[in-house]
Structure 1
Amino acid sequence: MLTTFFVVLIVALLIGAWHYSVPLGRWLYRLRHRAELNKTDLRPTRVTLDGIEHHVWLSPQSDKPVLLCLHGFSADHRVWLPMARYLQPHFQLVCPDLAGHGATGYSSDWDCGMPAQTQRMLALMDHLGHSQFMVIGNSMGGLLAAHLCAAAPERVSAMMVLDPAGVGSPEPSVMQQMLAVGNNPFLIDSDDDFRRFLAMTMARPPYLPGAVVRALAADYRQRKPALAQIFADFHRADAAIGDALDSIQTPTLVLWGGQDALIHVSAAARWQEATGGVCYIWEDLGHMPMMEAPRRTASTVMSFTKDMITV
Structure 2
Amino acid sequence: MSAAGSFKFAVFTASLPEWTPEEAAGKLAEQGWDGIEWRIVDQQPPTGASGFWQGNRCTWPLSTFEEDVPRIKEITEKAGLGIPSLGAYARCDEIEDVERLMRGAAALGVTQMRVPVGKPGPEGYNAAFAQRRKEYRRVAELAEQYGVKALIELHHQSLTSSASSAARFVEGFDPRHVGVIHDIGNMLQEGYEYDPWSLEILGEHLAHVHVKNAAPVATPVEGANRTDWKWGWAPMRHGVANLPKLFAALREHGYSGWVSVEDFSTEVPLEERVRDNLAYLKEISG
TM-score above 0.5, yes or no = no
Greater relative contact order (CA < 8 Å, ≥ 6 in sequence):
1
TM-score calculated relative to the size of structure 1? 0.31
- More helix by percentage: 1
- TM-score under structure 2 normalisation? 0.33
Greater Rg by CA: 1
